[in-house]
Amino acid sequence: MDHRKIIHIDMDAFFASVEQRDSPKLKGKPVAVGGGHERGVVCAASYEARKYGVRSAMSGKKAKELCPDLIFVPPRFDAYKEASQIIREIFHDYTNLVEPLSLDEAYLDVTNNHYNIPYATQVAKDIRSKIYERTELTASAMDERVALDPTDFGGKPEEKELVTRLHQTKEGIPKNGIIIDATAPLEHVVGKILKKCN
Ligand SMILES: [Mg+2]
């Protein structure tokens, strides 16, 4: 059985945190990115806004009802992409096996990381502090143990199916790691893995 050390890194309230970082008047305030115009939709909410129940994908109208002091700011994707680029550079500094899920989230296989750090939790801690040093933004990290054994997945049937299918094509599995993205639709994940195997 092949156990890999996988960490999942996710920036905290990413778009809203970038806005609060770049605009001091927004610090500590309930902020919604997007949603400010008629029929607009919130695409990110600061923690202060989340306390009122404001969530992404909610209409701006509903958000304003929940939090009358909510400050709407238009999205600045260039700024988010710039931060995202820096974060990815940091990830790649540690490992070549990076599976980005979005601008602010990725799985990293740190089994054989470039610094030979034996513990995944230590790698996660290092990465979080580097992210903060270079972007003034905070990230959360989680360790995930990925086992290439179907019996190890007690949870979702689609995960079991995925792992079973991986076993059926075992000769195609690269020894140096497969990253399973448990949040993406199965076909998508399998497609990605097969691409890696080719
Ligand atoms: Mg996030």
- Percent of the chain clearing pLDDT 70 (strictly above): 70
When pLDDT is averaged across residues 184-197 and rounded to a whole number, the result is: 43
Can 89 be counted among the known catalytic residues?
Answer: no
The mean pLDDT value for 57-77 works out to: 95
Q: Going from the N-terminus, what domains does the chain have, and what CATH number goes with each?
A: 3-12+78-197 (3.30.70.270), 14-76 (3.40.1170.60)
Report the separation in Å between the CA atom of 10 and the middle of ligand 1, taken as the mean of its atom positions. Answer: 5
What separation, in Å, do the N-terminal and C-terminal C-alpha atoms of the chain show? 22
Mark the residues whose beta carbon lies below 5 A from ion ligand 1: 10-11, 14, 104
Name beta bridge partners: 100. Answer: 106
Which pLDDT score, from 0 to 100, does residue 95 have?
92
Place of tokens 């923690």: 47
- List 8's β-bridge partners, or say none: 107, 142
Tens digit of pLDDT for each residue in 2-39?
A: 567 888 898 999 999 999 999 999 999 999 999 888 88
pLDDT one-digit tens code per residue, 116-155: 998 888 899 999 999 999 999 999 887 655 544 444 444 5
Mean pLDDT for the chain?
78
Cα of 104 to ligand 1 centre, how many Å?
A: 6
CB atoms within 10 A of CB 124: 23
Confidence grade of residue 180 (pLDDT, cut at 50, 70, 90): very low
Cα dihedral value 174, 139, 59, 182, nearest 10:
20
**What's the 147 CA to ligand 1 centre distance in angstroms?**
25
Asked if pLDDT for residue 74 goes beyond 60, the answer is: yes
